[in-house]
Amino acid sequence: MTGRASMPVPWLRLGRIERYVLIQQGRSLAIALAVIAALIMLIDFVEISRGVGSDVDLSGARILGLMALKSPQVIIQLLPFVFLFGTLAAFVGLNRRSELIAMRAAGVSAWRFVLPAAGAALIFGVVTVTVLGPLAASADGLFQRERTRLSGAAAGAVSDQAVWIREGDDARQIVIRAARQDRANARLLGVTFFIYTNDGEGRRTFSERIDADSATLAAGRWRLVDAVGAQIGQRAVPYATLDLPSSLADEEAFERFARPQSTPFWSLPAQIGRVEAAGFSSTAYRLRLQQMAATPLMFAAMSILAAAFSLRLMRLGDLARMSVAAVVLGFGVFFVNQAAAAFGAAEVIPPWLAAWLPPLLTALAAFTLLFYTEDG
Q: Which of 42-56, 81-95, 271-285, 305-319 has the highest mean pLDDT?
A: 81-95
Given pLDDT bands bounded at 50, 70 and 90, which one contains residue 312? low
Specify whether the CB–CB gap between 276 and 169 falls below 8 A: no
Tell me the longest C-alpha to C-alpha distance in the chain.
Answer: 93
Specify whether the CB–CB gap between 187 and 165 falls below 8 A: no
DSSP state of 266: G
Specify whether the CB–CB gap between 22 and 123 falls below 8 A: no
pLDDT at 5: 45
Q: List, for residues 137-172, the tens digit of each pLDDT value.
A: 888 888 887 877 776 554 444 556 677 787 777 778
What gap in Å lies between CA 11 and CA 45, rounded to an integer?
46
Of residues 244 and 57, the one with the higher pLDDT is 244
pLDDT at 14: 64
Where are the domains positioned within the chain? 12-153+287-375, 170-246
Q: List, for residues 107-133, the tens digit of each pLDDT value.
A: 777 777 788 888 889 999 999 999 999
pLDDT at 318: 61
Closest CA to 310 of 103, 164, 169, 154: 103
Helix axis angle, 133-155 to 60-77, nearest 10°: 140
Q: List, for residues 52-94, the tens digit of each pLDDT value.
A: 656 667 777 888 888 898 899 999 988 998 998 898 888 888 8
